[in-house]
Amino acid sequence: MTEKQLISAEFKKEEVSAEEAGTDKGYYFYVLEIGDIELISNPNDQLVNGQWACYFLNSDEIEIIYEFHLRMLISILKYSLKNVQNQGPI
């Protein structure tokens, strides 16, 4: 994915200063919260072939590298969140 695609999917940029990172250079990554689920991108200094990927926070077992899959996941999560909020528990 591209950085532009992450921004288009409403991810928010999180910047880490060099001081916070404990290095001579800072970095940034993208985050999207849907309910209590948080999707996070790889940092800009760890891109593979210039491409971005997304993961569930605290899990690196699932990697999303295609915009189509990311948008499907976001749609499912947002739809499910709305249903829970509108209908209550099943």
pLDDT per position as a tens digit, 47-75? 999 999 999 998 889 999 999 999 999 99
Give the largest Cα separation in the chain, rounded. 51
Q: Computed over its alpha carbons, how large is the radius of gyration of the chain? A: 15
CA atoms of 45 and 33, how far apart (whole Å): 22
Buried b / exposed e over 35-68, threshold 16 CB at 10 Å, is eeeebbbbbbeeeeeeebbbbeeeeeeeebeebe
Stated pTM of the model: 0.85
* Strands annotated E in the chain: 12-16, 27-34, 37-41, 54-56
pLDDT (tens digit per residue) in 68-90: 999 999 999 999 887 666 655 55
